[in-house]
Amino acid sequence: MLADRLGPLTPSKAAALTDAAVPPSRLSGPPLTRLVAAAGGEGAVLVDDASRARHAGGQAYADLVRRRRGDASAAPDAVVVVPDAAAVQRVLAVCSEERLAVVPWGGGTSVVGGLDPVADGCQAVVALDLSRLDAMVDVDETSLLATFQPGIRTPAVEAALERHGLTLGHVPQSFERASLGGYVVTRSAGQASTGVGRFDDLVAGVRLAAPAGELVLAAQAGSAAGPDLRRLVLGSEGTLGVVTEVTVRVHRRPQRRHYEGWMLPDWESGQEALRRLAQDGPRPDIARLSDPTETEVSLSMSRAGRLTRAAMARYLQLRNVSTGCLLITGYESSDDDVRHRRRRVRGILRKAGAVRLGTAAGRSWEHSRFAAPALRDTLLDVGALAETLETAATWSRLPALYDGVRRALTDSLGRCVVGCHISHLYSSGASLYFTVLAAAQPGGEEEQWTRAKAAANEAVVAAGGTITHHHAVGTAHRDHVTGDLGGALGVDVLRAVKATLDPNGVMNPGKLLPD
């Protein structure tokens, strides 16, 4: 199918990590000695090629392409694996004094260049690996609050909470690898954000270690005590300091999880039905509507494909329409609440012309909900460019945003497949998540995508969308983020905050703030 849609593909082979060309480390002498002492001993500072190569970027298409090529020229000069929050504070002090750039490193899943080891005038770059800060610090079952160290990954979070009958419920596609601290600084949104909310909403308290000292923003239920500085830490992308502790709102594990599939007559009626659910309720906890292209790709790749295609064929026959849009709805709650909401959602969807595909389609989505990142490697093997981008806008701006981004991508890439889905609902609007496939240009992969991405960024800004709904800014969006930050004065405000917390400018240089 791919060759048919994308034209001839040139397969490529991935280099082994051990073959990666890593330049010599710029870190030596007194700065290295001080760093070792601050981090807690020799074993805490890794300068071997393999460790450094593993920390040379995240999971953007450009990262993957460079890695496959065996290019680790951008590897950090050292990887510092800290044992505790006190060590983080000490390491930051040394890095600030010695002018060593610090890239905080959680799960390594940034897709926007947030982990690029940019020196920006510093002597060297250090990746600050937080994977050993992986404990649950406290759980308050009365207040449904749990405090974690930043390096813990979501499966471990859920395992720790399960022992108390609790769940966090934050389930992004990076669920298996991403760290809790990463969710804070990138303002993550998970697949169930329509129900549990964005990660922004789940953070009740946070501690930030910065070169200038520590910010301790304890958990509060609600407050009017000045601007909420937690919201400055949320989305700070490591440019202000390192999150050393986060207190999240958790909830009791749901009695029931129910996912099911629907087929909507078209993209417009699907959007209208979702808007109705988001604004007037009841909301499903998960709602994911695919456009016709994504629907077609999903069905052809789905485990339950045959079953769903049969249902779709029945649908097409019954309704005499030529296309359809797949919708997955999910509920995670008490039996009574799931029953009540499902009944009412069903009525609203049927009025919108939807045909129920049943739980097989829901299970199929559930089964493959974390599969896309791995699938990308397979696509790169066969010679396809595979990348995603996401945005959001108010409901009234959504149609123009959808058209504008699709046009920008297809104009730039030529023969390509651009699918899209809506997966995060708000009363005022929704997200758009685009998946792009094209024949990769051998040797020119990065330029090919950089050009397409720039065109998409411009289309997003032109249509009044946000430059990123849940992937953060990193290096990929910094040239187009000024509007989201309120204009040049907003950028000045963030620079002033950074100058206070990070006076020597060592924290994650080159990310978030435009030049």
Among 4, 30, 223, 320, binds a copy of itself (CB under 8 A): 223
Q: Are 247 and 219 in contact (CB under 8 A)?
A: yes
The DSSP letter of residue 186 is H
Among 16, 225, 318, 374, binds a copy of itself (CB under 8 A): 225
Residue whose CB is less far from a copy of itself, 214 or 458: 214
Say whether residue 393 binds a copy of itself (CB under 8 A): yes
Stretch in the footprint of a copy of itself (CB under 8 A) among 69-77, 125-133, 192-200, 284-292: 192-200
Residue whose CB is less far from a copy of itself, 68 or 177: 177
Residue whose CB is less far from a copy of itself, 247 or 448: 247
Measured CA angle at 34 (ends 33, 37), to 5 deg: 90
Q: Which of residues 58-87 bind a copy of itself (CB under 8 A)?
A: none
Residue whose CB is less far from a copy of itself, 67 or 470: 470
Residue with tokens 């950089």: 450
Q: Are 349 and 260 in contact (CB under 8 A)?
A: no
Rounded Cα–Cα distance for residues 389 and 409 (Å) = 11
Among 170, 249, 406, 421, binds a copy of itself (CB under 8 A): 249
Which helix or strand (DSSP H or E) is residue 426 part of?
none
Q: Is the peptide bond before 172 cis (omega within 30 degrees of 0)?
A: no
Residue whose CB is less far from a copy of itself, 27 or 456: 456
Among 24, 30, 142, 317, binds a copy of itself (CB under 8 A): 142
Residue whose CB is less far from a copy of itself, 153 or 498: 498
E strands in 442-503: none
Stretch in the footprint of a copy of itself (CB under 8 A) among 4-12, 337-345, 377-385, 405-413: 337-345
Rounded Cα–Cα distance for residues 345 and 330 (Å) = 11
Rounded Cα–Cα distance for residues 79 and 96 (Å) = 16
Rounded Cα–Cα distance for residues 475 and 110 (Å) = 10
Among 10, 143, 300, 378, binds a copy of itself (CB under 8 A): 143
Q: How does strand 136-140 pair with strand 145-148? A: antiparallel
Q: Which of residues 411-440 bind a copy of itself (CB under 8 A)?
A: 424, 426-431
Q: Which of residues 274-333 bind a copy of itself (CB under 8 A)?
A: 275, 279-282
Q: Give the three-state DSSP class for 332.
A: strand
Q: Are 55 and 127 in contact (CB under 8 A)?
A: yes
Residue whose CB is less far from a copy of itself, 91 or 476: 476
The DSSP letter of residue 429 is E
Q: What amino acid is encoded at 364 in this protein?
A: S
Residue 146 CB, shortest distance to a copy of itself, in Å, is: 11
Which phi and psi angles does 365 have, rounded to 5°? -60, -45
Q: Give the three-state DSSP class for 465.
A: coil
Burial of 134 (0-12, 13-18, 19+ CB in 10 A): middle
Rounded Cα–Cα distance for residues 296 and 319 (Å) = 18
Measured CA angle at 372 (ends 65, 191), to 5 deg: 125
In the structure encoding, which two tokens stand for residue 453, read together? 């991405």
Say whether residue 486 binds a copy of itself (CB under 8 A): yes
Say whether residue 229 binds a copy of itself (CB under 8 A): yes
Among 125, 126, 178, 215, binds a copy of itself (CB under 8 A): 215
Rounded Cα–Cα distance for residues 292 and 143 (Å) = 44
Q: Nearest-CA neighbor of 473 among 236, 178, 208?
A: 236
Say whether residue 236 binds a copy of itself (CB under 8 A): yes
Residue 186 CB, shortest distance to a copy of itself, in Å, is: 6
Q: Nearest-CA neighbor of 377 among 153, 77, 67?
A: 67
Say whether residue 44 binds a copy of itself (CB under 8 A): no
Residue 65 CB, shortest distance to a copy of itself, in Å, is: 24
Say whether residue 119 binds a copy of itself (CB under 8 A): no
Among 109, 147, 186, 298, binds a copy of itself (CB under 8 A): 186
Residue 229 CB, shortest distance to a copy of itself, in Å, is: 5
Stretch in the footprint of a copy of itself (CB under 8 A) among 174-182, 317-325, 379-387, 495-503: 495-503
Residue whose CB is less far from a copy of itself, 49 or 390: 390
Residue whose CB is less far from a copy of itself, 26 or 397: 397
Q: Nearest-CA neighbor of 121 among 476, 514, 509, 515?
A: 509
Q: Which residues of 342-353 are buried (b: 16+ CB within 10 A; e: fewer)?
A: beebeebbeebb
Say whether residue 213 binds a copy of itself (CB under 8 A): yes
Among 354, 392, 436, 439, binds a copy of itself (CB under 8 A): 392
Among 134, 337, 381, 458, binds a copy of itself (CB under 8 A): 337
Stretch in the footprint of a copy of itself (CB under 8 A) among 13-21, 34-42, 97-105, 229-237: 229-237
Say whether residue 515 binds a copy of itself (CB under 8 A): no
Stretch in the footprint of a copy of itself (CB under 8 A) among 59-67, 78-86, 92-100, 211-219: 211-219
Q: What amino acid is encoded at 123 in this protein?
A: Q
Residue whose CB is less far from a copy of itself, 308 or 333: 333
Distance of CA 84 to the CA centre of its chain: 26
Residue 276 CB, shortest distance to a copy of itself, in Å, is: 11
Say whether residue 255 binds a copy of itself (CB under 8 A): no
Residue 415 CB, shortest distance to a copy of itself, in Å, is: 31
